[in-house]
């Protein structure tokens, strides 16, 4: 009996996707020479997903554990990945993640704690987190991007947390899936919706009765006026634009 083929980590280049990205580059924001030097790329492709990276924007980001798409369930999730509409694809992928496939290492308090600590380590210096939640097999966060390209903190979060988590779990090998999902926040209404979605995810997944009950989430840190600690005193550095692209 043949063993199942491994999941392709870097799918072939998609000409249609590349054409879409090129069109967005022409119609929307382009990085300046200084921004290019810092690593900002505007619209670009990584793997099978389009990404947007620019200073002064807010993004809804999702990344998941390495085994959240088990090979044994390939037929189910491949149909989702082939969906042509990005919004529909993302919604279906999030429903899939909420089912809790894989080992769900983030369900362990010690692992969830170190991942949350890693997310918050440079919060307020390299970026500002508007919301976050550590789910059993994935992460959602809403982040203000400042002068550091989004991919850098994502790679930093994944690298540091995977090393420490593997030590706690007495294992080795991949911990996170390689790519991530990002959605550019358009305006204040979209921002409120993204924050609500992020913090309500444990309730939607039937893991908690109320958002504040979930231990590894920004919801627990909000005061009676729904403010995070950084919003109670001086405001975050600068003003983030939700109209950049």
Q: What is the pLDDT of residue 92?
A: 66
pLDDT tens profile 184-203: 998 999 999 999 999 999 99
Mean pLDDT of 58-65: 93
In a domain, 219, yes or no: yes
Closest CA to 186 of 141, 116, 120, 240: 240
Count of the separate structural domains present in the chain: 1
Q: Please say whether the dihedral angle defined by the alpha carbons of residues 19, 154, 70 and 214, taken in this order, is positive or negative.
A: negative
In a domain, 36, yes or no: no
DSSP code of residue 146: -
Using the predicted structure, report yes or no on whether residue 21 has a pLDDT greater than 60: no
- Contact indicator for 184, 145 with CB cutoff of 8 Å: no
More confident residue, 158 or 19: 158
Q: What is the pLDDT of residue 116?
A: 98
Q: What is the pLDDT of residue 236?
A: 46
Q: Which two tokens stand for residue 245?
A: 């692209």
In a domain, 119, yes or no: yes
In a domain, 113, yes or no: yes
In a domain, 9, yes or no: no
Q: What is the pLDDT of residue 168?
A: 96
Closest CA to 182 of 43, 72, 20: 43
Using the predicted structure, report yes or no on whether residue 75 has a pLDDT greater than 70: no
Helices (H) and strands (E) in the chain, counts: 8, 6
In a domain, 239, yes or no: no
In a domain, 206, yes or no: yes
CATH number at residue 145: 3.30.70.1290
In a domain, 172, yes or no: yes
- Spatial neighbors of 115 by CB under 8 A, at least 6 apart, are 106, 134, 139, 157, 161, 165, 216
CA separation for the pair 150, 42 (Å, rounded): 11
Whose structure tokens read 């807010």?
58
Whole-number Cα distances in Å, 4 to 1, 7, 77, 81, 193: 9, 9, 15, 18, 40
Give the domain range for residue 187: 48-232
More confident residue, 22 or 161: 161
How many of the other CB atoms lie within 10 Å of CB of 83?
14
Mean pLDDT of 179-184: 88
Mean pLDDT of 94-123: 86
């Amino acid at each position: 009996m043949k063993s199942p083929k491994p999941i392709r980590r870097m799918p072939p280049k998609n000409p249609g996707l590349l054409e879409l990205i090129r069109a967005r580059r022409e119609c929307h924001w382009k990085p300046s020479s200084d921004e290019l030097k810092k690593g900002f790329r505007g619209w670009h492709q990584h793997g099978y997903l389009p990404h947007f990276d620019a200073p002064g924007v807010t993004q809804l980001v999702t990344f998941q554990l390495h085994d959240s798409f088990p090979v044994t369930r390939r037929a189910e999730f491949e149909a989702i990945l082939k969906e042509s509409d990005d919004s529909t694809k993302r919604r279906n992928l999030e429903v899939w993640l909420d089912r809790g496939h894989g080992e769900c290492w983030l369900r362990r308090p010690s692992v969830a704690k170190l991942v949350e600590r890693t997310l918050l380590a440079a919060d307020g210096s390299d970026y500002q987190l508007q919301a976050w939640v550590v789910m059993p097999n994935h992460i959602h966060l809403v982040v203000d991007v400042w002068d550091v390209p989004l991919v850098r903190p994502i790679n930093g979060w994944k690298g540091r947390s995977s090393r420490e988590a593997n030590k706690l779990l007495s294992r080795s090998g991949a911990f996170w899936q390689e790519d991530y999902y990002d959605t550019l926040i358009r305006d204040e209404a979209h921002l409120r919706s993204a924050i609500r979605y992020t913090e309500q995810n444990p309730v939607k997944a039937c893991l908690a009765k109320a958002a504040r009950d979930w231990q590894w989430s920004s919801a627990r840190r909000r005061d009676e006026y729904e403010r995070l600690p950084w919003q109670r005193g001086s405001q975050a550095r600068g003003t983030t634009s939700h109209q950049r692209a």
